[in-house]
Amino acid sequence: MTLQMFLVLAAALFATGLFGALSQQSVVMVMMGLELMINALVVAGAAFWYFLAPARPDGQVFVLVVLAAMTVEMALGFAVATLLMRARDADMTDMAGDLRG
């Protein structure tokens, strides 16, 4: 596979995630769209690392840091979604709109 193929894959993942994040009203589906967009960045970053500097470990460190950040982000996101559901019985984004300060 070439770098262009990986970048097309990353663009497709990002576009799918953007569509999912903007078109859905469920909090969980919006979070899944955001995760797809972050995964697209990981694919693009890993592809650039593999094709431009495969001997250096920078790309691997980048992927591991982003995966760790994604894990924390998803855990916090699901905790907030669970809290919203329990406290206000709100599972849609417009139901949680009154939380703004």
Residue 36 counted as domain residue: yes
Residue 61 counted as domain residue: yes
Residue 98 counted as domain residue: no
Alpha-helical (H) ranges within the chain are: 3-23, 27-52, 58-88
pTM of the prediction? 0.78
**Model confidence over 42-95: pLDDT tens digits?**
999 889 888 988 888 877 888 888 889 888 988 888 888 788 778 777 767 666
Within 10 angstroms of residue 94's Cβ, the number of other Cβ atoms is: 8
Residue 81 counted as domain residue: yes
Residue 62 counted as domain residue: yes
CATH code of residue 35 = 1.10.287.3510
Residue 99 counted as domain residue: no
Q: How many domains does the chain have?
A: 1
**Model confidence over 7-51: pLDDT tens digits?**
999 999 999 999 999 998 887 888 889 899 999 999 998 898 889
Distance CA 83, CA 89 (A): 9
Residue 97 counted as domain residue: no
Domain extent for 10 = 3-90
Residue 29 counted as domain residue: yes
